Amino acid sequence: MSLRKYLVLAGITVFSAMGDSLLSRGMKQVGNISLGNVPHVILAILNPSVALGILFLLTFFACYMTALSWADLTYVLPATSLGYVLLAFTAQYQLHEHIHTARWLGIVLITTGVGFVAGGPELTKHHRGHGSRPQMECEPETVSTGGQG
C-alpha cells in the first residue's frame, strides 16, 4: 500500500475523531435542540465548535469516499476503527468524560479485532468470466446450444 493510501486512512481516523469530539463539545454548549425547531438547529450550526466539527466530518467523509474508491468497505472500516481509541482518549482528556472500565475493555477488543482484519487484502478478488458480470449462485447457468435456437 502506498504512502498516499496510508495518509487517507489516517485522515479518516483523525478527522472522524476530531469532528465527533468538536461536535460533542459544541452541542454541550448549545444544549438540547429539536429538529422541529429549525431556528435552534441553525443557531447550533453557527456555534464555532459545531461548525468546525462539521467541517472536520466533511473532510472525513471526503477521505472515506476516496478510500472506498480503491478498497472494500470490509477493509476500510476496520483499518480506520483505531479512531475509536483516539476518540476515547479525546473524550476522556479533552471533554472530561468518564470512561468506565467496561468501555475501555470493549475498545481493546475492537482494536484487537482490527489487528486480525487489517492484515487482509484491500480488495476482494472477483472471478469474472469473459468480461461479463459475475454470475450469482441463485442464477441458472446458460447452456450453449451450439448456434441452434
What type of residue sits at position 19?
Answer: G
In terms of C-beta density within 10 A (0-12 exposed, 13-18 middle, 19 or more buried), how is residue 49 classed?
middle
Q: Indicate whether this model's pTM tops 0.85.
A: no
Identify which has the larger pLDDT, 50 or 83. Answer: 50
Q: How far apart are CA 44 and CA 28, in angstroms?
A: 10
Length of the chain: 149
Cβ proximity of 116 and 80 under 8 Å: no
- What is the reported pLDDT for 125? 67
Residues 6 or more apart whose Cβ sits within 8 Å of residue 113? 78
Q: How far apart are CA 137 and CA 58, in angstroms?
A: 39
How do the domains of the chain map onto residue ranges? Answer: 3-117
H or E, element range at 51: helix 48-70
Q: How far apart are CA 93 and CA 108, in angstroms?
A: 18
Percent of the chain with pLDDT over 70: 79
Residue-wise pLDDT tens digits, 85-142: 888 888 888 888 888 899 889 888 887 877 776 666 677 665 454 444 444 444 444 4
Q: How far apart are CA 109 and CA 50, in angstroms?
A: 30
